[in-house]
Amino acid sequence: MSDIVMSAVDVNVRFGGLRALADLDLEIRSGEVLGIVGPNGAGKSTLFNVLAGAIRPTSGRVLLQGRDITSSRADQRARMGISRTFQTVRPFLDETLVRNVAVAALAVGDGRAHAMDVAVDLLEQVGLADKAAARASELGHGERKRLELARALAVRPRVLMLDEVMAGLNPSEVREIVELIRSLCAASGSELVLIEHLLSAVRSLADRVVVLDAGRVLADGTPDDVFGDPKVIEAYLGTKYATS
C-alpha cells in the first residue's frame, strides 16, 4: 500500500469523559483531495490536531509514509511537510503579512532573504500582495483566512490540511478561494485534506469524502456516494448543523 501518504490508526482522543475520537482509522492517499465533513463537534478539528501533532491521542498511532510519528511535536511535523490551518485563525498581529508567512519558510530552512521572497510569492498567490507590508491586525476576517493559507503553504507541505477555510466568507470570497485551492492542488502535487461545512465546495473539490459523526467514521467514499447515503443524510438532518 505504497500510495498511502499518511494515516491515523485506531486513534482515540478523550477529553475527560468525552470521546472526541473513537477507534478512528483514516488514510490519506497519494494525489487525492480528501474532504472531511460532519456535524459540529464530530471531531474533525480534533482529528487535524492529532494528525498535525497539536495534541497527543489518548491511544493510537499516526503514520507518515509508514513511519510512526505519533510522538513528534507539531513543529517537527510542520518541518516534515504536514501543514495545517486553524479553524480559528490567530495570525501574528503585530507583524507584517510578509513576516507572518516568511517565518514559516524560515523554519523549513530558507535563509531570511529567500524566506521573504517565498512569502511575497505566496501572498501574491492568495491575492494579498498589495498588503504585504501591512500588519496582520489591519486585515479583515476573509483576508486573515487567506493569510493563514499562505502561511500554511510556506512550509512546502506534502500534506495540507485546511480547517474550514471558507467559514464566514461571503459567496464571492468562497468562489475565489475554491479557485485558489483548485489551482494549488493542480500546481503543488501535495495531498490536500479539507474540512468544510460548505458541502457544495466539498463536492466540487474533493475526490473522496469521509463523514465523521461523534468521533467515528460514518461514511467513506466518492462525493456522490457519500452524499446520497441515507445514514449521512440522517446525521445531517438530525443535527441541523450551522456554520460556526
Partner 1 sequence: MTTQATTSPAPRRVRPRRRPSLGIIVGIAVLAALALAPLTGSRHSLGIWTVALIFAGVSSGWAIAGGLSGLIPLGHAAFFGIGGYASAVVFAKYDLSPWLGIVVGMVIAAALAWLMTVLAVRFKVRGPYFALYTLAWAEMLRILASNLDYLGKTNGVLVPYKVDAGPADLQFSDPRGFYLVAVGYAALAMIVFLLVKRSPLGWRLSAIRGDEPTAAASGVDVARSLTRTMALSAAMTAIGGGLYAQYIQYIDPELAFNVSVSIDIAVRAILGGAVLVLGPLLGSVAMTSVTELTQKYMDALPSASLLVLGLAIIALAHWFPTGIGGLGVRLKRIWSRRSDRV
Ligand X SMILES: Nc1ncnc2c1ncn2[C@@H]1O[C@H](COP(=O)(O)OP(=O)(O)O)[C@@H](O)[C@H]1O
For residue 216, report the phi and psi dihedrals to the nearest 5 degrees.
-125, 160
When binding is defined by CB under 6 A, the residue of 5, 11, 28, 43 that contacts ligand X is 43
Q: Which is nearer to partner 1, 144 or 208 (CB)?
A: 144
Question: Nearest approach, Cβ of 240 to partner 1 (angstroms)?
Answer: 31
When binding is defined by CB under 6 A, the residue of 30, 40, 76, 170 that contacts ligand X is 40
| 3-state SS assignment for residue 85 | coil
Check: CB of residue 189 under 8 Å from CB of residue 19: no
Question: Nearest approach, Cβ of 127 to partner 1 (angstroms)?
Answer: 13
Contacts of 207 (CB under 8 A, 6+ apart): 32, 33, 34, 222
Contacts of 9 (CB under 8 A, 6+ apart): 25, 60, 61, 62, 63
Check: CB of residue 16 under 8 Å from CB of residue 32: no
140: exposed, middle or buried (Cβ count in 10 Å: 0-12, 13-18, 19+) = exposed
**Residue 180, contacted partner among ligand X, Mg ion, partner 1, none, CB below 5-8 A by kind:** none
| 3-state SS assignment for residue 204 | helix
When binding is defined by CB under 5 A, the residue of 7, 45, 85, 100 that contacts Mg ion is 45
Can you tell me the distance from the alpha carbon of 109 to that of 106, in angstroms, rounded to the nearest whole number? 5
- Beta strands per DSSP E along 31-164: 33-37, 59-64, 67-68, 82-84, 159-163
When binding is defined by CB under 8 A, the residue of 117, 207, 220, 229 that contacts partner 1 is 117
When binding is defined by CB under 6 A, the residue of 5, 37, 38, 104 that contacts ligand X is 38
- The CA–CA distances, whole Å, from 88 to 85, 99, 188, 239 equal 9, 20, 25, 22
Question: Nearest approach, Cβ of 74 to partner 1 (angstroms)?
Answer: 4
85 binds Mg ion (CB under 5 A): no
Check: CB of residue 37 under 8 Å from CB of residue 196: yes
Question: Nearest approach, Cβ of 163 to Mg ion (angstroms)?
Answer: 6
Question: Nearest approach, Cβ of 175 to ligand X (angstroms)?
Answer: 24
Question: Nearest approach, Cβ of 234 to ligand X (angstroms)?
Answer: 17
85 binds ligand X (CB under 6 A): no
7 binds ligand X (CB under 6 A): no
Count residues contacting partner 1 (CB under 8 A)?
42
When binding is defined by CB under 8 A, the residue of 8, 33, 132, 194 that contacts partner 1 is 132
83 binds partner 1 (CB under 8 A): yes
Given the rule CB under 6 A, which residues bind ligand X? 15, 18, 20, 38, 40-46
Given the rule CB under 5 A, which residues bind Mg ion? 44-45, 87
